[in-house]
A and B are shown apart, each in its own frame.
Chain A
Amino acid sequence: MKKYLSFFRLRFLTGLQYRTAALAGIATQFAWGFLEIMVMKAFYETDPGVYPMTFRATVSYIWLQQAFLAFFAVWMVDSELFEMISNGNIAYELCRPIRIYSMMTARNLANRTSRAVLRCLPILLVAAFLPKPFRMEPPVGIAEFLLFVVTMLLGLSVTVAFFMLVYVLAFYTISPQGLRIVFCSLVEFLSGGVIPLPFFPEPVLRVLELLPFASMQNVPLRIYSGDIAGEEMVRAVGLQVFWLVALVVVGSMLCRMAERKVALQGG
């Protein structure tokens, strides 16, 4: 276990070095957040009756999403690992007494956490003091807040575990580019990255809620403002746990197969 903590530590420290990237990220996230809230406000004002969430919940959803973008945005993957797989430097990792799956998981968790740590505080702070309608309200209650934290960590884990499948597939393809693009756009859309899931039509939503994509950012960002509560919440958390276990089991099995079959590229 200590090995993987060390991987986490080093990747985390590496991530903290990129200060300019973080500043640029914060600026982008603010612009994006304002833009989204304005669009949503226009929707809301047209007909509040058909609007599927409360407006307050939408605003919290958007700001939390921007603040923790690094946790859930699918494209925030550790691309060094992809390079290692496609140019064969992964050979060195295979020469070490470590599980490749756990190593890649630790690195991805660290990469996302380091980026989120640099970005989230300024965004949350400013968002809490903005004038209405842009202001992010505090969570509905202490219990909801604690659940928000727990489900956010679960959601982060599901996101990372899902992306592990893409890494494993990259062992078999020559270039990971195509896989990345397909998976990124798919996950971004189906996980509520573009618009929150309640905005999908009812029949589609019922299916989507069962998929692993709904166990990523959808659950924590909606629990925070009480948009998911009661029985629905229990079910959502249960699904998160289920998907996390399923993805990790399948992923680590496939990874072991890939390690054996893989032809290392580049001599």
Chain B
Amino acid sequence: MITMKDVCKSYRVAKRNAGFGEACKSLFRREYETIHALRNVSFTISDGEMVGYIGPNGAGKSSTIKILSGILTPDSGEVLVDGRVPYQNRIRHVAQIGVVFGQRSQLWWDVPVIDSYELLKDIYSIPKKQYDNNLEELTILLNLSELIRTPARQLSLGQRMRCEIAASLLHSPKLLFLDEPTIGLDAVSKLAVRDFIKKQNELHGTTVILTTHDMQDIEALSKRIILIGNGEVLMDGTLEDIKRGGQSIDETVVELYRSYEI
């Protein structure tokens, strides 16, 4: 179970206009702007739920994921994940979760993917049998057999993403945070990844939080949607709640963003 209560997080960002003059000016006087990434964010997610966490760029989605993963400390508010405060005992917390950051890489660049997997096996102390089973299952579902003996640097973005997702699931986490997991995937891989996530949820009861800009992902995967904009939770409901007859999911979301002026 995940509870977030009145969570706030702000960043200080240095800003300036374009140009040489402005750059010189900023040498002496720097303008900072405080960005409120999260303002009083509250929600509860029960075990085994699949939640789509959506919002426009810069809405605070990744910040939420980082706080839930224990790598970012909120300014105020309460966060509890399965009874643990993520950022207080990071190491104990992260052993139970799996994270995919779509725009980052966790695979070792110059060595075959399988080497990275073997390292993860030791990092999470995964028993050999469990590791072999998971690897086999993931290899089949994500069609990795050709890829895992190749160095990560020679994989295409979509191929690498499939390997990245598998890497985050080798230790059978109870909780899965997916931050834009379908970036760069071709249609076949996208479907495979979606099926795969669904299966994880059905078979193992994995709780999944998914942020994405691909509304088909949301449509395929999550019954519940949390909409965030300018750091605030604007809506927490089901897909049916926001869908009006006959509209495509993309149109629905655009309308939703418009109605909240975000």
Collect the chain B residues with CB atoms within 8 Å of residue A260's CB.
Answer: 73, 87
Collect the chain B residues with CB atoms within 8 Å of residue A267's CB.
Answer: 62, 103
Interface of B toward A, CB cutoff 8 Å: 11, 62, 66, 69-73, 87, 90-92, 94-95, 97, 99, 101, 103-106, 108-111, 115-116, 118-120, 122-125
With A10-B108, A10-B119 in contact, do A97 and B94 touch (Cβ < 8 Å)?
yes
Q: Mark A70-101, 1 if CB is under 8 A from B, else 0.
A: 00000000001000000011011011111100
Show 14 residue pairs from A and B whose CB-CB distance is below 8 angstroms, ordered by the A residue.
A6-B122, A7-B119, A10-B111, A13-B111, A14-B110, A17-B111, A89-B106, A94-B90, A94-B94, A97-B91, A97-B124, A99-B91, A259-B90, A263-B72
A264 touches B115 (CB 8 A): no
Which one of A89, A95, A266 contacts B69 once the chains associate, using CB atoms below 8 Å?
A: A95
B11 touches A263 (CB 8 A): yes
A17 to chain B, nearest CB (A): 6
For the complex of A and B, 3 pairs with smallest distance between CB atoms: A6-B122, A97-B95, A92-B106
With A14-B111, A97-B91 in contact, do A3 and B122 touch (Cβ < 8 Å)?
yes
Q: Is there a chain B Cβ closer than 8 Å to A2's Cβ? A: yes
State in angstroms the CA–CA spacing of A39 and B101 once bound together. Answer: 54
Interface size class of A (residues with CB under 8 A): 20 to 34
Collect the chain A residues with CB atoms within 8 Å of residue B99's CB.
Answer: 92, 95
Closest Cβ neighbor of B177 among chain A residues = A95
State in angstroms the CA–CA spacing of A14 and B70 once bound together. Answer: 30
State in angstroms the CA–CA spacing of A147 and B46 once bound together. Answer: 60
B19 to chain A, nearest CB (A): 21
Collect the chain A residues with CB atoms within 8 Å of residue B11's CB.
Answer: 263
Residue in B105, B118, B119, B125 with the greatest tally of chain A CB atoms within 10 Å: B119
State in angstroms the CA–CA spacing of A88 and B91 once bound together. Answer: 19
B123 touches A95 (CB 8 A): no
A91 touches B104 (CB 8 A): yes
State in angstroms the CA–CA spacing of A98 and B91 once bound together. Answer: 6
Tell me which residues from 156 to 179 in chain A have a Cβ below 8 Å from any Cβ of chain B.
none
Given contacts A7-B119, A97-B94, A263-B72, 7 further A-B contacts (CB under 8 A): A89-B106, A91-B104, A92-B104, A92-B105, A95-B70, A95-B71, A96-B94
Closest Cβ neighbor of A174 among chain B residues = B14
Collect the chain A residues with CB atoms within 8 Å of residue B115's CB.
Answer: 10, 13
B74 to chain A, nearest CB (A): 12
Which one of A80, A97, A263, A264 contacts B92 once the chains associate, using CB atoms below 8 Å?
A: A97
State in angstroms the CA–CA spacing of A263 and B35 once bound together. Answer: 13
State in angstroms the CA–CA spacing of A259 and B166 once bound together. Answer: 26
B119 touches A6 (CB 8 A): yes
Collect the chain B residues with CB atoms within 8 Å of residue A13's CB.
Answer: 111, 115
Q: Mark A96-114, 1 if CB is under 8 A from B, else 0.
A: 1111000000000000000
State in angstroms the CA–CA spacing of A223 and B98 once bound together. Answer: 50
B6 to chain A, nearest CB (A): 21
B123 touches A3 (CB 8 A): yes
State in angstroms the CA–CA spacing of A17 and B111 once bound together. Answer: 9
A123 to chain B, nearest CB (A): 25
A89 touches B92 (CB 8 A): no
A96 touches B123 (CB 8 A): yes
Which one of B66, B70, B122 contacts A264 once the chains associate, using CB atoms below 8 Å?
A: B66
Closest Cβ neighbor of B104 among chain A residues = A89
Residue in B71, B87, B111 with the greatest tally of chain A CB atoms within 10 Å: B71
Q: Mark A253-267, 1 if CB is under 8 A from B, else 0.
A: 000000110011011
Which one of A17, A91, A96 contacts B110 once the chains associate, using CB atoms below 8 Å?
A: A17
Closest Cβ neighbor of B115 among chain A residues = A10
B123 touches A97 (CB 8 A): yes
Q: Mark A1-23, 1 if CB is under 8 A from B, else 0.
A: 01101110010011001000000
State in angstroms the CA–CA spacing of A88 and B72 once bound together. Answer: 12
Closest Cβ neighbor of B95 among chain A residues = A97
A89 touches B71 (CB 8 A): no
B55 to chain A, nearest CB (A): 13
A88 touches B69 (CB 8 A): no
State in angstroms the CA–CA spacing of A14 and B73 once bound together. Answer: 34
Collect the chain A residues with CB atoms within 8 Å of residue B123's CB.
Answer: 3, 6, 96-98
Closest Cβ neighbor of A259 among chain B residues = B90
State in angstroms the CA–CA spacing of A257 and B99 once bound together. Answer: 23
State in angstroms the CA–CA spacing of A95 and B123 once bound together. Answer: 11
Closest Cβ neighbor of A263 among chain B residues = B11
State in angstroms the CA–CA spacing of A17 and B151 once bound together. Answer: 12
B105 touches A94 (CB 8 A): no
A264 touches B111 (CB 8 A): no
